[in-house]
Amino acid sequence: MAYSALTSAILTLRLSPGADLDEVRLGAEYGLSRTPMREVLRQLAGEGYATLRQNRGAQGAEMSHSALRAFFMAAPMIYSAVLQLAATHRTDEQIDTLRLAQNAFCAALAEGNAAERALANIQFHRVTGEMADNLYLSPSFNRLLLDHARISMTFYAPQDAGQAENIALARDQHDAIIDAIVTRDRTRAGDLAIAHWQLSRDEIEKFVMPGALDVPLCATTSREQGT
């Protein structure tokens, strides 16, 4: 219960990136002694949700500028590779699981809040990662999903009709992704991954670069490089 609650809190920003995870306070909250609470924190750290600092305790995974820049560079490539491999290696049982995840996603879009929508979306993509079944790609993909969940909170809280239409399109793209995986169409699956990423990219960038800070990432990068 403690593990599930903390992963959800980190993914949906109820715990801010880099927030302290005090094992004594959390142990009291979840009714755990220090040893099992410490094991929960170690598991979170092992899966990328937290960082263990020597003599300073644990903290939620940070989201630095360099990490976000790496996220934007790697995301389309990793998503494309995962969906292509999913189309190759998927099983009938996994297809059923993916369809159930899509049903849960549609239900969250209809009745859920931004956090529920983001979590349902990540679960859909997590199933595709299981389908891909790649020893080397899986750790990178899971780390990507962690930050994607957090920064997609903006995407799943639409402020106007255009943003709402994008969410509906994301739902339809999930259906198309399922069809491509079912038919083992690697090329279409990879193309859909790119299209799906591009759909949410603009809204995700609003999280990274809020309106009060009207400086593009490339400009910041140029300054860092001294150009």
For residue range 67-86, list pLDDT tens digits in order. Answer: 888 888 899 999 999 999 99
Same domain, 140 and 93: yes
Q: Per the domain annotation, does 223 fall within a domain?
A: no
Same domain, 7 and 92: no
Same domain, 36 and 123: no
Average pLDDT over residues 5-16: 91
Q: What percent of the chain has pLDDT over 90?
A: 59
Same domain, 75 and 25: no
pLDDT in tens, 210-226: 543 343 434 333 444 44
How far apart CA 159 and CA 8 sit, in angstroms, is: 24
Average pLDDT, the chain: 86
Same domain, 36 and 87: no
Q: Look up the CATH number of the domain holding residue 184.
A: 1.20.120.530
What total number of domains does the chain contain? 2
For residue 30, how far is the Cα from the chain centroid?
25
Strand, coil or helix: what is 20? strand
Q: Look up the CATH number of the domain holding residue 48.
A: 1.10.10.10
Which pLDDT belongs to residue 215?
Answer: 38
pLDDT in tens, 93-119: 999 999 999 999 999 999 989 999 999
Which pLDDT belongs to residue 105?
Answer: 96
How far apart CA 202 and CA 151 sit, in angstroms, is: 11
| Residue predicted with more confidence, 184 or 61 | 184
Same domain, 110 and 166: yes
Please list the residues that pair with 52 across neighbouring strands. 58
Q: Per the domain annotation, does 225 fall within a domain?
A: no
Instruction: Give every strand in the sheet of 57-60, ordered side by side.
Output: 20-21, 57-60, 50-53
Strand, coil or helix: what is 200? helix
pLDDT in tens, 129-148: 999 999 999 999 999 999 88
pLDDT in tens, 148-166: 888 888 788 877 777 788 8
Same domain, 54 and 84: no
Strand, coil or helix: what is 106? helix
Residue 55 has pLDDT above 80, yes or no: no
Q: Per the domain annotation, does 105 fall within a domain?
A: yes
Which of 3-7, 54-58, 183-187 is most confident? Answer: 183-187
Give, as one character, the DSSP assignment of residue 61.
P
Average pLDDT over residues 180-196: 96
Same domain, 133 and 180: yes
Domain that holds residue 140: 65-217
Please list the residues that pair with 51 across neighbouring strands. 59
